[in-house]
């Protein structure tokens, strides 16, 4: 039995997951680039920000999906 009353709710969930993952990754990269330019360690902190953003994105997607399982 599905927790969704309409297919639009499923589309909304998938959109939320995609947007959440993208926002986390882009935020990590931009923050890493900003700190890189400030300190002068290009591109290392951008790569660290990318990895942290990807990890945070996976974690938040897990929390979203867990509520529906």
Looking at the predicted structure, is the pLDDT value of residue 69 above 90? no
pLDDT single digits (tens) 2-28: 677 888 988 999 999 999 999 999 999
Q: What is the pTM of this model?
A: 0.86
pLDDT value for 61: 95
- Find the mean pLDDT for residues 29-49: 95
Dihedral sign computed on CA atoms, order 9, 10, 14, 15: negative
Give the C-alpha distances (Å, rounded to integers) separating 25 from 7, 8, 16, 51.
28, 26, 14, 8
DSSP conformational letter for 1: -
Q: Is 41 helix (H, G, I), strand (E, B) or coil?
A: coil
5-21 as b/e, with b when 16 or more CB fall inside 10 Å? eeeeeeeebeeeeeebb
């Amino acid at each position: 039995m599905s927790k969704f009353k309409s297919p639009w709710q499923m589309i909304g969930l998938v959109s939320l997951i995609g947007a959440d993952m993208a926002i986390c990754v882009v935020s990590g990269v931009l923050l890493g680039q900003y700190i890189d330019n400030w300190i002068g360690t290009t591109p290392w902190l951008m790569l660290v920000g990318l990895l942290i953003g990807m990890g945070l994105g996976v974690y938040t997607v897990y929390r979203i999906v867990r509520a529906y399982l």
